């Protein structure tokens, strides 16, 4: 197993912090604490060793606490849409839901009981955005609200997003979640625009910009997750697989992601053991209750590269310049409105 000095887990981060106190910024050599970048400029990825996860949910709680201030506070009643093609999605009265992705819950733990090799395994799998290396959500967002950051995280700007849900439509795992009654559409086109803002994990960009670890990594008592330059994370995951005979998910999926899972049980078996009745995208195709049960709970199927599909590729090529212009225009609109509010 190659020696890895650059990736940081919660324990090593805390150890480093204890040694150098408030000046802990030098504790993890390859992950600069300034802006959450890797020192080499390489994208950062996370490794999740599922054999360590006990399913305690501390990561979920930490995510909710760390990001609570960024959760939507919608204005009600919602404007009526015309035509009523986009349904209102309101999670503001269900903020406590923590067993699926919602605009108020960007991480959940999937608990899976599976038989493998003649034994029953309890696997606990933290799920959130995979932070794809070539993310269709960012490449196809018509407004430039979804974007890939230099550090490998994929973000959605809540002040630009109009909630049209393109990002969710093109995400193979349906990760982004919409809250109605919040965002720019209320000022721009309250009855015609996308009906809200999309929310998901952004790998704790505000924390990382302050030199902190993502909250879920810091809170985990079992050091399930590590973060580091992608090449090192992949080398570490592959070494772990060689050592333990485990299985990998995330390196190739959707053309590559910055989230790598290693499991002692094949992912096909985990997927089969999850709720039944899915189609290829993980949507329910069984009863209404089954569909309801699977919404917001991403699948574990293999996912090919999205831009091998010519239509997706062409759409991305045409969207990019227009999205840049749109994002600029929306930012100007927002600024003008803020100035106007200040004056009045
Ligand atoms: S990743 Fe860590 S904090 Fe989250 S459920 Fe697993 S053991 Fe608990
Ligand atoms: S997992 Fe989905 S939302 Fe996250 S970066 Fe990939 S395509 Fe975008
Ligand atoms: S990285 Fe941050 S936003 Fe993403 S799941 Fe972890 S705590 Fe939540």
**CA–CA gap between residue 284 and residue 276 (Å, rounded):** 8
**CA–CA gap between residue 272 and residue 278 (Å, rounded):** 10
**CA–CA gap between residue 32 and residue 40 (Å, rounded):** 9
Residue of minimum CA distance from atom 4 in ligand 2? 129
Q: Give the ligand with the smallest distance to the CA of 129.
A: 2
> How confident is the prediction along the chain (344 residues), in pLDDT tens digits per residue?
333 345 665 554 444 333 233 333 333 445 554 557 777 889 999 999 999 999 999 999 999 999 999 999 999 888 777 666 678 899 999 999 999 999 999 999 999 999 999 999 999 999 999 999 999 999 999 888 999 999 999 999 999 898 888 999 999 999 999 999 998 777 766 666 568 899 999 999 999 999 999 999 999 999 999 999 999 999 999 999 999 999 999 999 999 999 999 999 999 999 999 865 444 444 444 555 555 668 999 999 999 887 777 666 566 655 665 666 666 666 666 666 666 666 66
**CA–CA gap between residue 233 and residue 8 (Å, rounded):** 10
pLDDT of residue 278: 46
The pocket around ligand 2, CB under 6 angstroms, is made up of: 129-132, 135-137, 154, 167, 171, 173, 175-176, 200, 254
Q: β-strands 44-49, 259-263: how paired?
A: parallel
The radius of gyration of the chain's CA atoms, rounded to the nearest angstrom, is 20
Q: Which atom of ligand 2 is nearest to the CA of 259?
A: 1
Q: Which of 162, 146, 3 is nearest to 86 (CA)?
A: 162
Please tell me the distance between residue 106's alpha carbon and the centre of ligand 3 in angstroms.
7
Residue of minimum CA distance from atom 6 in ligand 2? 132
Q: Which residues sit opposite 260 in a β-bridge?
A: 47
- The residue whose CB lies within 8 Å of the most ligand 2 atoms, and thus the one to mutate among 166, 254, 307, is 254
**CA–CA gap between residue 177 and residue 53 (Å, rounded):** 25
What kind and span of H or E run contains 67? helix 58-67
pLDDT of residue 164: 84
- The residue whose CB lies within 8 Å of the most ligand 1 atoms, and thus the one to mutate among 125, 216, 222, is 222
* pTM to 2 decimal places: 0.83
Please tell me the distance between residue 326's alpha carbon and the centre of ligand 1 in angstroms.
39
Please tell me the distance between residue 63's alpha carbon and the centre of ligand 1 in angstroms.
11
Q: Give the ligand with the smallest distance to the CA of 152.
A: 2
**CA–CA gap between residue 139 and residue 28 (Å, rounded):** 32
pLDDT of residue 87: 81
Which residue bears the tokens 């309801």?
292
Q: Give the ligand with the smallest distance to the CA of 128.
A: 3
Please tell me the distance between residue 135's alpha carbon and the centre of ligand 2 in angstroms.
6
Which residue bears the tokens 């196809």?
140
Residue of minimum CA distance from atom 2 in ligand 3? 204
Q: What share of the chain is helix, strand, coil (3-state, %, to 5)?
A: 35, 15, 45
């Amino acid at each position: 197993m190659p020696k890895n000095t650059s990736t940081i887990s919660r324990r090593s981060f805390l150890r480093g912090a204890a040694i150098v106190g408030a000046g802990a910024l030098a504790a993890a050599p390859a992950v600069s604490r300034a802006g959450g970048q890797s020192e080499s400029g390489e994208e950062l990825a996370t490794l999740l060793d599922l054999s360590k996860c006990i399913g305690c949910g501390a990561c979920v709680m930490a995510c909710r606490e760390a990001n609570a201030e960024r959760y939507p506070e919608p204005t009600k009643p919602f404007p009526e849409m015309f035509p009523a093609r986009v349904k209102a999605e309101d999670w503001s009265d269900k903020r406590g839901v923590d067993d699926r992705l919602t605009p108020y819950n960007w991480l959940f733990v999937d608990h899976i009981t599976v038989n493998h090799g003649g034994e029953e395994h309890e696997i606990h799998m933290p799920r959130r955005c995979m932070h794809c290396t070539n993310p269709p959500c960012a490449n196809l967002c018509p407004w430039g609200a979804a974007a890939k950051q230099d550090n490998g995280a994929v973000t959605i700007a809540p002040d630009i997003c109009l909630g049209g849900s393109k990002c969710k439509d093109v995400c193979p795992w349906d990760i982004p979640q919409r809250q109605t009654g919040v965002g720019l559409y209320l000022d721009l086109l309250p009855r015609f625009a996308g009906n809200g803002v999309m929310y998901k994990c952004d790998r704790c960009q505000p924390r990382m910009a302050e030199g902190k670890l993502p909250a879920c990594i810091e809170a985990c008592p079992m050091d399930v997750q590590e973060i580091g330059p992608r090449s090192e994370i992949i080398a570490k995951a592959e070494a772990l697989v060689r050592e333990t005979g485990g299985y990998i998910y995330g390196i190739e999926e959707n053309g590559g992601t910055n989230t790598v899972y290693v499991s002692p049980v094949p992912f096909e078996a985990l997927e089969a053991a999850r709720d039944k009745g899915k189609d290829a995208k993980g949507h329910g195709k069984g009863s209404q209750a089954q569909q309801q049960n699977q919404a917001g709970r991403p699948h574990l199927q293999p996912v090919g590269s999205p831009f091998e599909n010519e239509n997706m590729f062409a759409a991305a090529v045409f969207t990019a310049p227009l999205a840049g212009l749109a994002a600029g225009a929306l930012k100007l609109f927002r600024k003008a409105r803020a100035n106007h509010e200040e004056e009045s």
